[in-house]
Amino acid sequence: MSELDGKQLDTLLSLELQETAIDEGKDDFMERIRAMYVAGGANSYTNVLINSSDFYDVLMRIELVTRVAKHDNDELEDLLAQYRELEKTKAELDEQIKQLKAKAEEYAKEQKSLADEQAELLKMEQESGELIEKIKNDKSDLEDKSQQVDDKYSKVSSKAATTTTTTTTTAKTTKKADSTKAATTTKKSGESGEKTTTTKKSTQNEKPDNTTAETTTTPQTTTTAKATEPPKTTTTAAPAPVPDSSDSSKIDTVVSYAKSMVGGAYIWGGSQFGATDCSGLVMLSFAQVGIKLPHYAASQATYGTTVSYANMKKGDVIFFGGASISSIYHVAIYIGDGKMVHAQNSATGIVISNVEYFSRYNNITIIKRLI
């Protein structure tokens, strides 16, 4: 689109130069006609011949008249050729403007399609975010329940181990006690060795007591270690992202809105979406981020901070005119990559142009940064 716009700008300049040349040639020719009329009216050529002094003078005057007539004929032919070239240039310009409008309409459709896709993508991202949030919450609940089950299992296992050990130890002690009792009874049937038998009974009774104490203590220590294990870390779902309200986001909003109007009509004094003039486009675009501007290019140039052409960045506003702000007659929004979007004129409408190309024919007065 910007290339087509550049070509039509070149053609438009060529057309203006041709019209200027034709006007100058036409003025010169009409001045000669007027001079001849004043000198002798429509019969001036005849008067020149009649007023000759002799035959040779007549010949000289005829030669002069012939040359003058040839010069006039050449000028007329040149003017006619320029008019034919002018008509050809006009037709070429009309075709370029037609192509530019078609490209702008195509761009507008693509922008709308892109906007719809972005909206659908945003919806999918939101739905995916909600689903991920739910999965994270479910995972957190499952981890909590798993931790509770592990704790219960540890307690049950500890109790089961303690009960089994105690039962086994008691059975062994009872068996040993019965054996000792039987041995003691056998020894008592004889009178000798009673004291020794009593001593052995005492020794045997002490060993089971110590064994029972040691065996019982071991599982209790194990149970204590399980109880003091640190609990597993529970994952907490991250909060939803907060919308970015930075300057970059605002600039993107302004530029996107301005680009969405490409393909619209140039309406002098208009301020509606897709039907506006250059300052109206700027005013509507910046209103999307809460920046209120007047509907007049020269007044808009008094807002913001002045920046140089070399430091220009996306979202800056370019004003065209003479050397002073009061001479400003056009305004555009820079969208990056050397391009700008603007409501150009009634012939082309709202288009994207190359800044460098456009500024060849339109002087940049000032560049302002509003964000």
For residue 362, name the pLDDT band (cuts at 50, 70, 90). Answer: very high
CA dist., res. 215 & res. 175, Å (int): 17
Query: Lowest mean pLDDT: which of 5-19, 143-157, 355-369?
Result: 143-157
371 close to 291: Cβ distance less than 8 angstroms: yes
- Supply the pLDDT for residue 322: 95
Give me the mean pLDDT over the 352-371 stretch: 95
- In this predicted structure, what is the pLDDT of residue 71? 67
Quote the pLDDT of residue 194.
Answer: 43
What is the C-alpha separation between 236 and 140, in angstroms, rounded?
Answer: 7
Q: Which of 2-6, 135-139, 288-292 has the highest mean pLDDT?
A: 288-292
Residue of 69 and 126 predicted with greater confidence: 126
Catalytic residue among 101, 250, 259, 330: 330
Q: Is 342 an annotated catalytic residue?
A: yes
168 by DSSP, 3-state: which?
A: helix
| Structure token digits, residue 189 | 């049937």
User: Band of the pLDDT at 37, cuts 50, 70, 90?
Assistant: low
Query: What per-residue string of b and e applies to 290-323 under the rule 16 or more CB within 10 Å gives b?
Result: ebebebebbebbeebeebeeeebebbbbbbbbee
Name which residue leads in pLDDT, 80 or 347.
347
Based on the residue annotation, tell me whether 278 is a catalytic residue of this protein.
Answer: yes
pLDDT at residue 57, as a whole number: 60
| Pairwise pLDDT comparison (243 vs 287), residue with the higher score | 287
Residue type, 261: M
**Residue with tokens 């294990």, as numbered in its chain:** 229
Burial of residue 281 (number of CB atoms within 10 Å: 0-12, 13-18, 19+): buried
Measured from the Cβ of residue 282, the count of other Cβ atoms closer than 10 Å reads 28
Question: For the segment 141-172, what is each residue's pLDDT rounded down to a tens digit?
Answer: 777 777 777 777 777 777 777 776 666 666 56
Q: What angle do CA 47, 51, 52 make, to 5 degrees?
A: 125
Residue type present at position 343:
A
The catalytic position among 250, 259, 339, 342 is 342
As a whole number of angstroms, the distance between CA 182 and CA 204 comes to: 13
Q: Which is catalytic among the residues 262, 278, 332, 333?
A: 278
Identify whether 295 is a catalytic site residue: no
Residues 196, 200: Cα–Cα separation, whole Å: 6
